Amino acid sequence: MIDSDILDIAREEQQPPILIGLAALAKMAFRGADLGPITQSLIDRSRRNSEDAGALMDLSLLELFRGREDNRARFQAQALKLHRFYRHAPASAASDPLRVLALATPGDLMANTPIEFLLESANIALDVLYIVPGCPLPEIIPPHDLAFVVVAEGDANKSALDLLASRVKTWPRPVLNEPDRISRLTRDGAWTLLASVPGAYMPVNARVDRASLMSFSTSEVQPEQIPPDCHFPIIARPVGSHAGEGLKKIDDRAALVAYLTQYAQAEFFIAPFVDYRGTDGLFRKYRVALIDGRAYACHMAISSHWMIHYLNADMIDNPQNRAEEAKFMRDFDEGFGARHQKALREVARRSGLDYLIMDCAETRDGELLIFEVGSAMIVHAMDPEDVFPYKASQMKKLFGAFQAMLRSRALAARTAAPS
């Protein structure tokens, strides 16, 4: 059990290093800024002071943006040997900021929920405590008003989520996005949780070992690991992959053999392919945030290809698609959100999470088609306003809802606390 008196002690020598942080550095990178000078300044800082953990942590992000994963991991590991607490200064200079402690784990951008983007312009002091594999939680934890588990679901994060699940039960402050609920959101676990949501359809997702897939590719007899609903065409991806890496549509057994020749992983997720094209032949994928049970539009992407990512969809160069996205955002509460209100509320209820992101679409029958749910998908306000003038107000609404949820939970805890 963590003693509440200990939690309220802050030793000067254990104050977290201050970070430039993900939100600021990502915005610079996203907008094409020259990162050379800031990189050099951070290198100079680390050379002058080998224990400058803040410089090392920011360098790890810059290396990530350059695609240098080995360097990212090395800088981050060096930083975490020095400090496990880090601080993002409040955007506002107002006094008495809300104090949020993010409980994180080492890794790349997919390892943790990037709530820094959601706190833009907020009078919120964000501390980050890293849960390092093999290390217990420290005895001294920075004072905070509430904690937020940002560790994402994933095989690599299971030990961190398990450790947190055993500790947050006696945490003396409110804890949002409880770790045991995050752990349920594997692709197959999410299907088990959400398959029967009224008004929604989530295709069966199965975790299948390589041997079973090989058998499926060469025999008419369907292996036990392959769900009965999984007939060609199917989609497959290696377990642990993200952002479409290794995600393929497989039309027949010969294509499956070719796929397994290309990807040597031991396990895969498979699901039946759903053709969700509209009457105009285009695919539309939506990202929706569920904040305290209420749905908010994040973005909409339109493409002639079934595998849509916002950056490869035809959005930047197609004003007609942007106009449709603008309408989707403007009319969300009376349009998409209203059509699927009951299903969205049920997804939020079953997940039990305070903050959840969905990638989804609509079936040809008008049901909510659920592709993926999780807590770590990115939501941001970095798109250029001259190209996407309609996004700023929607992101302000979404960020405001997230910040209001944090404040209301902290206030409720204070009000309920014995005098």
Question: What is the layout of strands, in order, in the sheet containing 248-250?
Answer: 206-209, 267-272, 234-238, 248-250
Q: What is the average pLDDT value for the chain, to the nearest integer?
A: 91
What is the C-alpha separation between 360 and 280, in angstroms, rounded? Answer: 18
* pLDDT for the residue 7: 38
144 vs 10, higher pLDDT: 144
Cα 54 vs. chain centroid, distance in angstroms?
Answer: 23
Q: Looking at residues 4-18, what average pLDDT do you find?
A: 51
Residue-wise pLDDT tens digits, 110-141: 999 999 999 988 999 999 999 998 888 877 78
DSSP calls for 62-100: HHHHTT-HHHHHHHHHHHHHH-SEEEE--SS--SS-EEE
pLDDT at 5 over 70: no
* Residue 418 confidence class, pLDDT cut points 50, 70, 90: low
Residue-wise pLDDT tens digits, 263-286: 999 999 999 999 999 999 999 999
* pLDDT for the residue 10: 38
* pLDDT for the residue 245: 84
**Domains of the chain with CATH codes:** 4-177 (no CATH), 204-272 (3.30.1490), 283-409 (3.30.470)
Q: What is the 3-state secondary structure (H, E, C) of 198-235?
A: CCEECCCCEEEEHHHHHHHHHCCCCCCCCCCCCCCCEE
Distances (CA, A) of 185 to 25, 87, 273, 298, 340: 29, 28, 20, 20, 21
* Residue 4 confidence class, pLDDT cut points 50, 70, 90: very low
Q: Which two tokens stand for residue 53?
A: 């953990």
Q: Looking at residues 282-293, what average pLDDT do you find?
A: 97
Question: Please, what's the b/e burial string for 357-387 (b: 16 or more CB within 10 A of its CB; e: otherwise)?
Answer: bbbbbbeeeebbbbbbbbbbbbbbbbbeeee
Terminal alpha carbon distance of the chain:
22
Cβ(112)–Cβ(152) below 8 Å:
yes
